[in-house]
Amino acid sequence: MRRLVEKDSATLFRVVVEGLGDRFEPGLCDAYARLFSEAIACALPGVDAAELVARYRRIRHSARRVRNAATVFVLSRITLGADVAVTSVLLDAAKRRFPRSRIVFAGPRKNWELFAGDPRIEHLEVAYARRGSLAERLAPWSGMRATLDWPGSIVIDPDSRLTQLGLLPVCPDDNYFFFESRAFGGDGEEPVSALASRWAAETLGVPGARPFVSPAAAPVTSDRPLICVSLGVGENPAKRIADPFEEELLRALAAKGPTVLVDQGAGGEETARVLRAIKRSGAPAGRIRTWKGAFAPFAATIAQAALYVGYDSAAQHVAAACGVPLVTVFAGFVTPRFFARWRPSGPGPIRVIRVDDRDPARVLDETLRAIDTLGMG
């Protein structure tokens, strides 16, 4: 464990954290707590792994109803998609449960920008090094403990990476409310947004909380309806369908009439791949435009789009939250329950292409037929 902590944090997170968490098996939560508490103790001198585990077991089984509070801190899940699918549900519930309280989103600025247009939601910036060593990823903890332990405040934790999925205490236990998304719902097949809503009803007493976004950024303007597309895979190549799927998809979308707006992605190989697919699609000039930049303006554009199409990503959760018709190609899931938990959920028409057979022609055919069912034929 010490070698992984000091020399290979990337493997530690990929194998231990994601390997255990992505299966959404309640029985694996305790295994994660035991293993990762040891990792934290290796990285932070003076931290006792047994004490972390003991506290974790106390707070994960707490069935308290939340009390009144002057300030409600809601922690970021760090990834944009999870902040839409999960954290926004708890923000919605907190706003309704505490109409006169301060509601503070604690997390990176780019994540808060998805809610910056909501005057009820304040921001406490907490940086997190997603690609750093374990020590670098744990660095915000000391500052968070000092900031979040305010008189009259509570903390709502949606299984946040900021607390390493509930292991790191940031306030007294009585002020801490933990939605353990990996275990809540047991063996059921509900999407994680629905589970967050159910937890909010049970814990906050607020039924019907739902995902939302409220970016302050201006959307991309167009004189035609827009089809928004994201081909990003979040550094997980298993989510991608092999060539010529992407170029053929873009060719078909460009032939439908609306302007196609494609997110260029995070740069490097991903952006090169997207631009290559656009070029190979042979679409007429002007029929396909690209977006490069912050995610919040793209999210604002998705909210006004006629259709969203893409891989399993943050953008699909934005479209679902906004009721925008969407088709998502969902590949590379580690277990059927991962697929069930992270499939998009929202009020609009949603078509999810569950990819068990990765043949590009077959996936393309299913995707185009799904688009046709949404009236975009």
For 189-239, the DSSP string reads ---HHHHHHHHHHHHT--TT--------SPPPP-SS-EEEEE---TT-GGG
Note the CATH architecture for domain 226-376.
3-Layer(aba) Sandwich (3.40)
Query: Coil, strand, or helix at residue 306?
Result: coil
How many Cβ atoms are within 10 Å of 57's Cβ, its own excluded?
12
pLDDT score at 152: 93
Secondary structure of residue 80 in the 3-state scheme: helix
At residue 121, the 3 state secondary structure works out as strand
Q: What is the pLDDT of residue 1?
A: 63
- Residues whose CB is less than 8 angstroms from the CB of residue 328 and which lie 6 or more positions away in sequence, other chains included: 308, 309, 310, 311, 312, 313, 316, 343, 344, 350, 351, 352, 353
Task: Give the whole-angstrom CA distance, residue 152 versus residue 70.
Answer: 5
Q: Is there a contact between 18 and 182 (Cβ–Cβ < 8 Å)?
A: no
Amino acid 114 reads: L
What pLDDT digit, counting tens, does each position of 165-213 carry?
Answer: 999 999 999 999 999 999 999 999 999 999 999 999 999 999 999 999 9
What single-letter DSSP state applies at residue 163?
A: G
Please answer whether residues 233 and 239 qualify as being in contact, where contact means their C-beta atoms are separated by less than 8 angstroms: yes
What's the mean pLDDT when you consider all of the chain? Answer: 95
Instruction: List the structure tokens of 97.
Output: 């449960």
d(CA 55, CA 20): 20
d(CA 14, CA 23): 13
**How high is the mean pLDDT in each 10-residue block of the chain (377 residues)?**
69 87 94 96 95 95 80 98 98 98 98 98 96 92 93 96 97 95 95 98 96 97 94 93 98 95 94 97 94 97 98 97 98 96 96 98 98 88
Q: What is the pLDDT, as a whole number, of residue 80? A: 98
SS3 102: strand
Which 3 state secondary structure label does DSSP give 15? helix
CA distance 170 to 188: 30
> Domain locations in the chain?
2-57, 71-203, 226-376
What angle (nearest 5°) sits at the alpha carbon of residue 298, between those of residues 293 and 301? 145
What is the rounded CA–CA span in Å between residue 253 and residue 248?
Answer: 9
- The CATH number of 71-203 is which of 3.30.499.10, 3.30.300.180, 3.40.50.2000, 3.30.1490.20? 3.40.50.2000
**Closest alpha carbon to 170 in 41, 59, 94:** 59
- The pLDDT value given to residue 332: 95
* pTM score: 0.96
Determine the Cα–Cα distance for residues 36 and 292; give it in Å rounded to an integer.
Answer: 37
